[in-house]
């Protein structure tokens, strides 16, 4: 992908600069979280009245902000900044596992259904119509509810639940796009020539069809990374996200969605607890959207 | 085969052609109808299996409610009796056919299922049927005051905002694609998509209600001006994505040769935009509009609980948490029906707007 990326044209655009810098910065934050975070994100400090602190610049006479907790603390006395920094890891993990998994399923189904055609294609399309006519968020919530009793409480398992849920819901859109593209490509001469030369279906799919739909997959992945991060936030806010996927998971995982959940109760005291994670989400998802826009534009210009 | 029939031109032949076309259309409609039914049954089946896979039963699942704290458990024998009463002790396939088609009671009488419009009794709201909870307005009110009516009104209001703002914004930023305004609009739209809608809703409450005192936090919904904020919060994300898709498809069309030709032969910019470009942009727009506006129903879950709005989105959420099986099924069915109908509507609209699609269908390539 690095080779096909139009670097020359990209570096002339401010939006691409913005998105690359944001991605790089947040990636660094995720990678070096233990060294950057000023506190342990799971450390309670109820004793020294360090819980529910406002940000450091607030001059409340009853509870002034402390310089060691720059963005304040939540109601268990855990440092908000550290939780934010460690939450970046969760977001990156989700983006880098859930979306590729969904893309993999969608590509597989789309290729098979588009190439095979006939009865199999009709059956697959009927099934994907069924999935599509279910309300997405509720589907996800139910999957999380099912899995949360099965898995033991650890950092990974809450995430796996969400990854499975996202993949189960969102492969449908990609499968449809790929199916239509495959049907268009299949009718072209070079595929017929390959079949005429005796190529097996597997060879045609992997060597001729897949490379020709690769750009669809890449654009889909870039467009859906913000979607999964937003979804995690929404699920966290209503209380079934990564952090609360298992009972007690709130104390072993940090995620931006979980911060919304704890920020909801502290809304009147410290609205920043809600605003700061949403600012992070805004930055990262905007950078992916702008990058996707740029890629769309370049493919359009190349087609002309 | 139909080719030869359509190409004949004598009078008697035309009548035959019309007859055969009527038959094909009837067949297409029948096939569409069967497909819709299959999708609905399949979707409810998926939801049925999933919701029964959620651990726990409706009677023991009070772990988060005040009953638990007060030690008010439902004892085992009562639980069994309740399960029997609601038919939860039957095997799963029996429960499903019972829900869809109906079942014979012990005394031999037949109760009809979903096919007769009976969505079953709600488990958690005792004594009320699901259709009563959803569609029945409080005493002395019109249909629009029911839960369904409230949600539908909110979504209609929201879609009006989304379409009414999104399409003009898209056109504006495509028409002046090289200007500063267009860049500001496109970055702004990217930002609007990236904000979770509950954050927007909370911001609206904080800024408009507690700082500026423009709205009341507990509004009465008979006053139309109170609807603006929830509808707007609901509409922001669809609006932004509609505008982006509009812009992209307009940009695609604007670079086509026939647009340049139309400009070159002296037509004004407005006329080219409205007649030549818009007509071609409408078809992809409509296929996009349907699912996007349906997604507002998912947004309802959040917005309704933020503003304590008396619609059915909140009901869905409560039903999933308290395992109110018939309620989950009813709401899923409602949602799925809405989506499927919208997709059928889109097909029809596209065929009306784009004659090419129609002619392909007539040749039998459905």
Which of A269-273, B12-16, B53-57, B338-342 shows the lowest per-residue confidence on average (mean pLDDT)? B12-16
Q: Is the pLDDT of residue B69 over 70?
A: no
Report residue A82 as tokens: 């550290």
Tell me the CA end-to-end span of chain B in Å, nearest whole number: 15
- Nearest CA distance, A253 vs chain B (angstrom): 21
Averaged over B145-162, what is the pLDDT?
89
pLDDT tens digits for range B277-326: 887 888 788 888 888 888 888 888 888 888 888 888 888 888 887 788 88
A256 has a chain B CB within 8 A of its CB: no
In sign, the C-alpha dihedral spanning A176, A104, A108, A143 is negative
Span A141-155, average pLDDT: 73
Q: Is the pLDDT of residue B361 over 50?
A: no
Of the pLDDT bands very low, low, confident and very high (cuts 50, 70, 90), residue A74 is: confident
Asked if A234's CB is within 8 angstroms of B302's CB, the reply is yes
Beta carbons of B43 and A133 less than 8 Å apart: yes
Q: Do the beta carbons of residue A42 and residue A82 sit within 8 Å?
A: no
Average pLDDT over every residue of B10-32: 69
Instruction: State pLDDT tens for residues A17-57.
Output: 888 899 999 999 988 888 887 777 776 666 656 666 777 77
> Which candidate in B199, B298, B325 is best for mutational testing of the A interface (most A CBs within 10 A)?
B199
User: Is residue B196 a contact partner of residue B276, using CB atoms and an 8 Å limit?
Assistant: no
Chain B CB within 8 Å of residue A146 CB: yes
Segment A156-186, tens digit of pLDDT = 677 788 888 889 888 998 998 899 889 888 8
B333: closest CA of chain A, how far (Å): 8
Domains and CATH numbers, chain B: 143-355 (1.10.3720.10)
Residue A303 Cα, gap to closest chain B Cα (Å): 11
A22: Cβ contacts below 8 Å, ≥ 6 apart: A283, A284, A286, A287
The alpha carbon of B87 is separated from its chain's Cα centroid by a whole number of angstroms, namely: 30
For position B235, what pLDDT does the model report?
92
Contact A28, A22 (CB under 8 A): no
Quote the pLDDT of residue B7. 44
Q: How does residue B3 score in pLDDT terms, banded at 50, 70 and 90?
A: very low
Least Cα distance to A138 among B53, B52, B311, B313 occurs for B313
Q: Is A281 touching B (CB cutoff 8 A)? A: yes
Interface-testing mutation among A14, A117, A122, A130, with chain B (most B C-beta atoms within 10 A): A130
**Cβ–Cβ under 8 Å, residues A107 and A174:** yes
Residue among B93, B2, B11 at smallest CA distance from B366 = B2
Judge: A233–B302 Cβ closer than 8 Å, yes or no.
no
Q: Tokens 């029997």 appear where?
A: B84
For A146, which of B50, B295, B340 is closest by C-beta distance? Answer: B50
* Domain residue limits, chain A: 90-303
Q: Do A286 and B35 touch (CB under 8 A)?
A: no
Whether the per-residue pLDDT at A68 is higher than 60: the answer is yes
What integer is the mean pLDDT of A232-256? 67
Counts of helices then strands in chain A (DSSP H, E): 12, 0
- A143 CB neighbours in chain B (<8 A) are 50
- Closest to A241 (Cα-Cα) out of A134, A104, A94, A135: A94
Q: What's chain B's Rg over C-alpha atoms?
A: 26
pLDDT confidence of A16, banded at 50, 70, 90? confident
Q: Is the pLDDT of residue A201 over 90?
A: no
Q: Which of B298, B162, B308, B229 is nearest to A231 (CA)?
A: B298
Say if residue B5's pLDDT is above 80: no
pLDDT at residue B102 greater than cutoff 60: yes
Tell if the CB–CB gap between B336 and A281 is shorter than 8 Å: no
| The pLDDT value given to residue A107 | 94
pLDDT, mean of residues A146-158: 68
CB contact under 8 A, A233 and B38: no
Rounded mean pLDDT, A176-202: 88
SS3 of A64-118: the string is CCCCCCCCCECCCCCEHHHHHHHHHHHHHHHHHHHHHHHHHHHHHHHHHHHHHCH
- Chain B residue numbers touching A293 (CB-CB < 8 A): 186, 190
Q: Tokens for A8?
A: 């020359």
CA angle at residue B352 from B349 to B356, to 5 degrees? Answer: 115
Please determine, for residue B129, whether its predicted confidence score (pLDDT) is greater than 90: no
Rounded-to-integer distance, Cα B336 and Cα B333, Å? 5
Structure tokens at A169: 């819901």
What ipTM was estimated for this complex? 0.81
Residue in A23, A124, A133, A147 to test binding to B, most B beta-carbons within 10 Å: A133
Output the pLDDT for position A99: 93
For residue range A285-298, list pLDDT tens digits in order. 889 988 888 887 78
CB–CB of A126 and B301 under 8 A? no
Apex B260 CA angle, B258 and B261, nearest 5:
60
Would the pLDDT of B232 be above 80?
yes
* Three-class DSSP category at A195: helix
pLDDT band at B9 (very low <50, low <70, confident <90, very high): very low
Chain B residues whose CB is inside 8 A of the A282 CB are 191, 194-195
* Angstroms from A285 CA to nearest CA on chain B: 6
- CATH 1.10.3720.10 correct for A90-303: yes
Does residue B52 surpass a pLDDT of 80? yes
Question: Nearest-CA distance from B206 to chain A in Å?
Answer: 9
Q: Given a cut of 80, is residue B161 above it in pLDDT?
A: yes
Measure the CA–CA gap between B118 and B112, rounded to whole angstroms. 7
| pLDDT tier at B166, thresholds 50, 70, 90 | very high
> For residue B218, what pLDDT is reported?
67
CA angle B212, B216, B220 (to 5 degrees): 155
pLDDT at A109 over 90: yes
The residues that bridge with B253 in the sheet, in sequence order, are: none
What pLDDT is stored for residue A232 in this prediction?
Answer: 85
Q: Over 50: is that where the pLDDT of A15 sits?
A: yes
Using CB atoms within 10 Å of the CB of residue B350, give its burial: 0 to 12 exposed, 13 to 18 middle, 19+ buried: middle
Q: Backbone dihedral region of B209: left (phi > 0), alpha (psi from -120 to 50 degrees) or beta?
A: alpha
Crossing angle of helices B228-254 and B180-194, in 10° steps, is: 130
C-beta atoms of A281 and B195 within 8 A: yes
The closest alpha carbon to B247, from A283, A213, A289, belongs to A289
Residue in chain A closest to B38 (alpha carbons) equals A126
pLDDT of B64 higher than 60:
no
Residue A137 and residue B301: Cβ atoms within 8 Å?
Answer: yes
The per-residue pLDDT of chain B, averaged, comes to 79
Shortest Cα–Cα distance, B101 to chain A (Å): 19
The 3-state DSSP class for residue B193 equals helix
Q: What is the pLDDT of residue B15?
A: 59
Decide if B198 and A237 are in contact by the 8 Å CB cutoff: yes
Residue among B40, B194, B320 whose CB faces A141 most closely: B320
Q: What percent of chain B has pLDDT over 90?
A: 9
Examine the pLDDT at B4 and tell me if it is beyond 50. Answer: no
In the predicted model, what is the mean pLDDT of chain A?
Answer: 81
């Amino acid at each position: 992908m690095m080779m096909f990326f139009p670097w020359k044209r990209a570096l002339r655009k401010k939006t691409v600069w913005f998105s690359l810098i944001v991605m790089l910065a947040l990636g660094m934050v995720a990678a070096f979280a233990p060294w950057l975070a000023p506190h342990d994100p799971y450390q309670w400090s109820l004793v020294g009245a360090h819980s529910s602190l406002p940000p450091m610049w607030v001059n409340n006479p009853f509870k002034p902000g402390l310089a060691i907790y720059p963005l304040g603390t939540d109601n268990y006395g855990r440092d908000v900044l550290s939780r934010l920094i460690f939450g970046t890891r969760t977001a990156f993990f989700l983006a880098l596992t859930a979306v590729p998994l969904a893309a993999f399923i969608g590509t597989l189904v789309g290729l098979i259904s588009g190439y095979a055609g006939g009865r199999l294609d009709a059956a697959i399309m009927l099934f994907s119509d069924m999935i599509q006519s279910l309300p997405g968020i509720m589907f996800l919530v139910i999957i999380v509810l099912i899995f949360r009793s099965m898995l033991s409480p650890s950092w990974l398992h809450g995430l796996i639940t969400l990854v499975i849920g996202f993949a189960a819901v969102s492969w449908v859109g990609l499968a449809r796009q790929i199916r239509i593209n495959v049907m268009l490509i299949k009718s072209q001469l070079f595929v017929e020539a390959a079949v005429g030369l005796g190529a097996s279906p597997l060879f045609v799919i992997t060597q001729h069809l897949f490379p020709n739909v690769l750009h669809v997959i890449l654009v889909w992945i870039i467009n859906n990374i913000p979607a999964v991060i937003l979804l995690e936030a929404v699920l966290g806010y209503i209380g079934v996200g990564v952090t609360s996927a298992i009972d007690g998971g709130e104390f072993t995982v940090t995620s931006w969605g979980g911060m919304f959940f704890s920020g909801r109760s502290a809304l009147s005291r410290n609205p920043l607890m809600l605003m700061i994670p949403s600012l992070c989400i805004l930055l990262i998802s905007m950078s992916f959207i702008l990058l996707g826009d740029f890629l769309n534009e370049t493919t359009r210009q190349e087609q002309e | 085969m139909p080719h030869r029939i359509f190409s004949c031109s004598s009078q008697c032949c035309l009548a035959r052609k019309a007859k055969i076309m009527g038959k094909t259309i009837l067949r297409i409609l029948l096939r569409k109808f069967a497909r819709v039914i299959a999708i609905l049954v399949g979707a409810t089946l998926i939801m049925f299996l999933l919701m029964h896979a959620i651990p726990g039963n409706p009677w023991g699942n009070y772990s988060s409610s005040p009953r638990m704290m007060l030690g008010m458990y439902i004892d085992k024998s009562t639980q069994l009796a309740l399960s029997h009463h609601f038919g939860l002790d039957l095997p799963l396939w029996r429960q499903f056919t019972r829900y869809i088609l109906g079942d014979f009671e012990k005394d031999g009488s037949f109760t009809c299922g979903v096919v007769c419009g009976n969505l079953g009794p709600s488990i958690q709201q005792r004594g009320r049927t699901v259709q009563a909870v959803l569609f029945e307005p409080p005493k002395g009110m019109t249909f629009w005051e029911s839960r369904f009516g409230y949600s539908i009104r909110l979504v209609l209001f929201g879609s009006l905002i989304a379409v009414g703002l999104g399409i003009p914004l898209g056109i504006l930023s495509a028409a002046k694609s090289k200007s500063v305004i267009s860049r500001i609009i496109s970055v702004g739209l990217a930002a609007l998509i990236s904000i979770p809608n509950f954050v927007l809703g909370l911001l609206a409450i904080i800024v408009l209600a507690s700082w500026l005192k423009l709205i009341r936090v507990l509004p009465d919904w008979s006053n139309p001006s109170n609807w603006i904020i929830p509808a707007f919060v609901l509409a922001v994300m669809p609006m932004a994505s509609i505008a982006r898709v509009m812009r992209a498809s307009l940009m695609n069309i604007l670079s086509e040769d026939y647009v340049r030709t139309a400009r070159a032969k002296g037509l004004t910019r407005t006329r080219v935009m409205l007649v030549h470009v818009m007509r071609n942009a409408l078809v992809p727009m409509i296929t996009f509009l349907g699912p996007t506006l349906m997604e507002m129903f998912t947004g309802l879950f959040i917005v309704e609980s933020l503003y304590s709005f008396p619609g059915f989105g909140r009901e869905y959420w409560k039903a999933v948490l308290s395992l109110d099986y018939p309620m989950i099924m009813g709401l899923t069915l409602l949602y799925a029906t809405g989506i499927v109908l919208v997709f059928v509507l889109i097909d029809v609209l596209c065929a009306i707007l784009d004659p090419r699609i129609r002619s392909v269908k007539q040749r039998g390539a459905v």
